């Protein structure tokens, strides 16, 4: 029920009682402000932990080779272990139940140049399935395919920043770049959410890399992904079997902790996810506490406001105000103040969060944000409780007989 007269009456009361209005408005604005800032920071913390894994497939296992630390089966210790192409085939053959994708990776740095521009980039010899592991997103052209691997083509897929460094505004597709003196044709440009370093990479077919290195069949790393539906527990079994298989194949003492290193991203990601959810609980708890503090604050102020106005309300009643109109007046006033100041607090907090961006990176808070629905919901909750907090003393004041309210102290 909208009544201009009622609003005018309320605006007058608000305008003429600035301190009171300011106090209750400030409490609400501060409460919602702190809540949203804290919530945003919590999300920023979570972002930091999530982003470590965001750009990589979490169901992947990375296998590196190292030096043995124990003698075994007639081999001396301190022997360098090396992976070969046949290892890939053997893993494919022995673990079809677990395996989803597999790719080798041969990492080299080489001076890359186009026309007058040149720079040192990480070039990675990989198989087509590598795209899955790094979650590489193609912007232009295509990724490497099986033909490239089979025919050992001199095709290269370059990162967005490589393209920017070397080609400026030029379209790199179909152009030739020189990698350590060998000409490669650019067939695609990619981007990656993992940050700048992940976009300063050049991918080649791993067979081409091997060809350039005197036609060997050596591999630096093997990246394996398990079928996601298997879950973490079976992934751990897979990891164990894989380790045993490779140690057996490479004649490494099963008790030797060196020689082969396996990093299970799934496990690390899982631990991080658990950590992130604990963080979320803490943030939710702190946020809830702030909201409750805000509600208690507004309740106190409403009790004080109604007490202060007891006499005025008595006069109004003597002049013909019904209890309902008294309650409605106080409620409408308090809801108006809480809604307005709550929205102001919310907006200021959101603007601050949005402008923070990466400035708090060193405190592990990255891109703090709060989704609009959470912000609006919490503001709404505070308004509702503000109204309830106002209703109880208002109802009591309205039920006081005017004679009591008007009695001179």
Partner 1 sequence: MIKIENLHKSYKMGNNTLHVLKGIDFKVDQGELVAIMGSSGSGKSTLLNIVGMLDLLDEGQYTLDDVIIKDLDETKAARYRNKFLGFVFQSFNLINYKTALENVSLPLYYQGIKRKERQEIALSYLEKVGLKEWATHLPSELSGGQKQRVAIARAMAARPKVLLADEPTGALDTTTSFEVMDLIQKINEEGKTILVVTHEEDIAKMCKRIVRLKDGVIVEDKNVEQVLASKYV
Angle, helices 4-16/18-54, rounded to nearest 10 degrees: 90
Pick the closest to residue 338 from 12, 7, 25 (CA basis). 25
With binding defined as CB under 8 A, does residue 310 bind partner 1? no
**Exposed / middle / buried, residue 377 (Cβ in 10 Å: 0-12, 13-18, 19+):** exposed
Footprint of partner 1 on 7-26 (CB under 8 A): 8-9, 12-13, 16-17
**Of the ranges 2-10, 231-239, 244-252, 281-289, which one interacts with partner 1 (CB under 8 A)?**
2-10
Within 8 A by CB and 6+ apart from 110, the residues are 120, 121, 123, 179, 180
- Least CB distance to partner 1 at residue 322 (A): 4
* Residue number, 7 or 363, with CB nearest to partner 1: 7
**293, 315, 339, 381: which one contacts partner 1 (CB under 8 A)?**
315
* Residue number, 57 or 397, with CB nearest to partner 1: 397
**Of the ranges 6-14, 134-142, 219-227, 337-345, which one interacts with partner 1 (CB under 8 A)?**
6-14
Q: How many other CB atoms are found less than 10 A from the CB of residue 178? A: 15
Token readout for 115 is 């026309």
Sign of CA dihedral 399, 404, 408, 409: negative
* Residue number, 10 or 179, with CB nearest to partner 1: 10
For the chain, helix (H) and strand (E) counts, in that order, are 13, 12
* Residue number, 151 or 322, with CB nearest to partner 1: 322
* Residue number, 297 or 314, with CB nearest to partner 1: 314
**Of the ranges 111-119, 157-165, 290-298, 398-406, which one interacts with partner 1 (CB under 8 A)?**
398-406
Footprint of partner 1 on 318-337 (CB under 8 A): 318-325
* Residue number, 16 or 233, with CB nearest to partner 1: 16
Cα angle vertex 259, ends 253, 265, to 5°?
115
Q: Tell me which residues touch partner 1 (CB under 8 A).
A: 5, 8-9, 12-13, 16-17, 311-312, 314-325, 398-399, 401-403, 406, 408
């Amino acid at each position: 029920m909208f009544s201009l007269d009622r609003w005018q009456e309320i605006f007058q009361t608000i305008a003429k009682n600035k301190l009171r209005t300011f106090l209750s408005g400030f409490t609400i604005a501060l409460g919602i402000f702190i809540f949203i800032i804290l919530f945003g920071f919590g999300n920023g913390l979570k972002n930091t932990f999530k982003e470590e894994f965001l750009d990589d497939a979490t169901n992947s296992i990375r296998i590196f080779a190292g030096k043995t630390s124990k003698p075994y089966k007639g081999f001396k210790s301190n022997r360098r272990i090396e992976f070969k192409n046949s290892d890939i085939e053997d893993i494919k053959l022995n673990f079809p139940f677990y395996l989803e994708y597999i790719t080798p990776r041969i990492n080299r740095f080489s001076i890359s140049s186009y026309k007058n521009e040149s720079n040192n980039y990480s070039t990675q010899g990989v198989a087509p399935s590598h795209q899955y592991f790094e979650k590489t997103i193609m912007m232009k052209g295509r990724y490497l395919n099986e033909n490239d691997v089979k025919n050992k083509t001199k095709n290269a897929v370059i990162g967005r920043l490589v393209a920017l460094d070397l080609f400026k505004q030029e379209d790199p597709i179909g152009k030739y770049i020189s990698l350590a003196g060998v000409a490669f044709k650019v067939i695609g440009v990619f981007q990656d959410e993992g940050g700048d370093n992940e976009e300063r990479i050049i991918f080649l077919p791993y067979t081409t890399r091997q060809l350039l290195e005197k036609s060997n069949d050596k591999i630096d790393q093997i990246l394996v992904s398990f079928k996601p539906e298997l879950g973490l527990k079976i992934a751990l079994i897979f990891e164990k079997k894989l380790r045993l298989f490779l140690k057996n194949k490479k004649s490494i003492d099963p008790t030797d902790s060196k020689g082969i290193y396996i990093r299970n991203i799934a496990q690390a990601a899982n631990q991080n996810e658990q950590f992130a959810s604990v963080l979320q609980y803490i943030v939710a708890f702190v946020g809830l506490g702030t909201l409750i503090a805000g509600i208690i604050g507004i309740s106190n102020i409403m009790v004080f406001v109604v007490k202060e106005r007891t006499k005025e309300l008595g006069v109004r009643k003597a002049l013909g105000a019904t209890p309902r109109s008294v309650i409605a007046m106080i409620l409408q006033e308090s809801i108006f103040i809480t809604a307005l100041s709550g929205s102001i607090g919310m907006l200021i907090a959101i603007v601050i969060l949005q402008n923070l961006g990466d400035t708090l990176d060193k405190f592990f808070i990255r891109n703090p944000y709060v989704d609009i629905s959470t912000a609006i919901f919490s503001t709404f909750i505070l308004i509702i409780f503000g109204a309830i907090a106002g209703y109880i003393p208002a109802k009591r004041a309205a039920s006081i007989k005017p004679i009591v309210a008007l009695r001179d102290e």
